Amino acid sequence: MKFSIFLNPQIPGSGWAAEENAKAKRPIGRDVESYQKLLHEVREIAVHADQVGFDALMMTEHHFHSEGFEFSVNPLMFLTDLAARTERILLAPLGIVLPAWDPIRAAEDVALLDQFSKGRLRLGVARGYQNRWMNVLGQRWHAAAARSDGSKSDNRNFDVFGEVLKIMKMAWEQDSLRYKSDVLDYEIPAPFSGIEGWPAQEWTQTFGAPGEIDENGVIQSVSVCPKPYQYPHPELWQPFTVSDRSVIRAAQEGIMPWMFTPNPDDHAAKAKLYQEECAKQGKDYKLGEHTGILKIVGMADTREEAIETYGKGMQKDFASFFGPFGYLEVLRKKEDDSHKPISPEKGDFKRMNDVEMALLGTPDDVKRGIQRMLDRMPDLEWFGLFMQGQQGVLPLDTVKRNLEMFATKVIPEFQD
């Protein structure tokens, strides 16, 4: 098994644990000094994770977070900075939200980072669930936020995601690209009949890609450069794969799913569905192979100390922000009233630990939690340490100590 950290960067001094400071600097997301503190912490964590032996570092994409939470505006650019500071760790945006991107610009930026890092890139792709920014950045494609409810709007997001990914793959794989989309108002070249009046005709006919320009000097296709360092492109990952439809799409597209569901039985059921769908595509994976599981992990000398340390200041943040999006449902227990929503006061780290959304405790507690997953999925390929409520909330030394404890006391038990 391989091991990753998943960073959801938070501006230090934001959130309920730092309420007075966060209000004084409102909106703290535009405070230059505070953002510089975030950059320092994330860089320190990346270098530390690289040095102690983690295999990958992952980071999400979000925009307009004036409150200072989930502060990862452009993971490709952020990871380019981290690539220059690290040596061996894989780097993965988890993921870039495709319905908010131009497909060719996305393909170019991905290829650049793959070249900069000489193949250390793994590319997470996502649909985007937050309407505050998705409705703005996705408006070109009439793609609002994903709702996972089968609505017309949700289906549009799903279709745009697939089409942007399709064009990106063609841009990576084809030396000369010509395509007219029936999902997006998008054609290559534009107009699709050809671009007339290209001045450097002889130059392109001599040195350009075959088929790029015709005998009349009209541009009939384009060559997206550079191509990725990895052939045909970086391995594709998908974050928070929960719905059956997303699992099936991931299998069809050759995408590795990262799952963030509460208990080992849920993980195993989704992994089984993924295994079965991959088999239909001619890929015979073992149960858990080409699959990742995310868990919030926090370790200390005792379980009580771990829950106190990593739950401090996080319960209210988690309930206030993620609760309205429905994420408290992952904390539901069998004995809870199925007709009542999970109340915010139940969004605490003790309950997260009880339902195994989090593994909080001693190193032995964490190892037992991982083993429970392996009992159901013996060939689980990736485990991700989700750093929710750590960077930006806890002292940097505490965060780094948690990573080092995991690397020295847990990873050796399960590493390939």
Could you read off the pLDDT of 160-179 as tens digits, one per residue?
999 999 999 999 999 999 99
Which of 304, 299, 301, 307 minimizes the C-alpha distance to 406? 299
Name the token pair of 4: 């990753």
Rounded to 5 degrees, what angle do the CA atoms 416, 384, 90 make? 70
* Phi-psi map region of 334: left, alpha, beta (phi>0 left; psi -120 to 50 alpha): alpha
pLDDT at 89 over 80: yes
Rounded to whole angstroms, the Cα distance separating 237 from 92 reads: 8
Sign of CA dihedral 359, 365, 371, 372: negative
Sign of CA dihedral 79, 80, 85, 88: positive
pLDDT in tens, 41-78: 999 999 999 999 999 999 999 999 999 999 999 999 99
pLDDT average, residue stretch 129-135: 94
Domains of the chain plus CATH, in order, are 2-95+239-314+333-339+354-414 (3.20.20.30)
pLDDT average, residue stretch 83-99: 98
38 alpha carbon, distance to own chain's centre: 19
State if pTM tops 0.75. Answer: yes
Contact at 8 Å (CB) between 250 and 270?
no
Q: What is the dihedral of CA 319, 321, 324, 329, to 10 degrees?
A: -50
In which residue are the tokens 């930006």 written? 392
Beta bridge partners of 7: 59
Rounded to whole angstroms, the Cα distance separating 144 from 299 reads: 39
Q: What is the mean pLDDT of the chain?
A: 93
Q: Is residue 235 packed enough to be buried (19+ CB in 10 Å), middle (13-18) or exposed (0-12)?
A: middle
Q: Tell me the DSSP string of 60-88.
A: ------TTSSS--S-HHHHHHHHHTT-SS
Sign of CA dihedral 207, 208, 212, 218: negative
pLDDT at 313 over 70: no
pLDDT in tens, 240-288: 866 788 899 999 999 999 998 777 888 899 999 999 999 999 999 999 9
- The gap between the terminal CA atoms of the chain, to the nearest Å, is 5
Sign of CA dihedral 170, 167, 122, 291: negative
pLDDT at 241: 67
Single-letter amino acid, residue 213: I
- pLDDT grade for 319, boundaries at 50, 70 and 90: confident
pLDDT in tens, 212-247: 999 999 999 999 999 999 999 999 999 986 678 889
- pLDDT grade for 322, boundaries at 50, 70 and 90: confident
Contact at 8 Å (CB) between 345 and 389?
no
Per DSSP bridges, beta strands 292-299 and 256-259 are parallel
Name the token pair of 8: 């959801």
pLDDT at 321: 86
Rounded to whole angstroms, the Cα distance separating 60 from 129 reads: 12
pLDDT at 48: 99
pLDDT at 314: 65
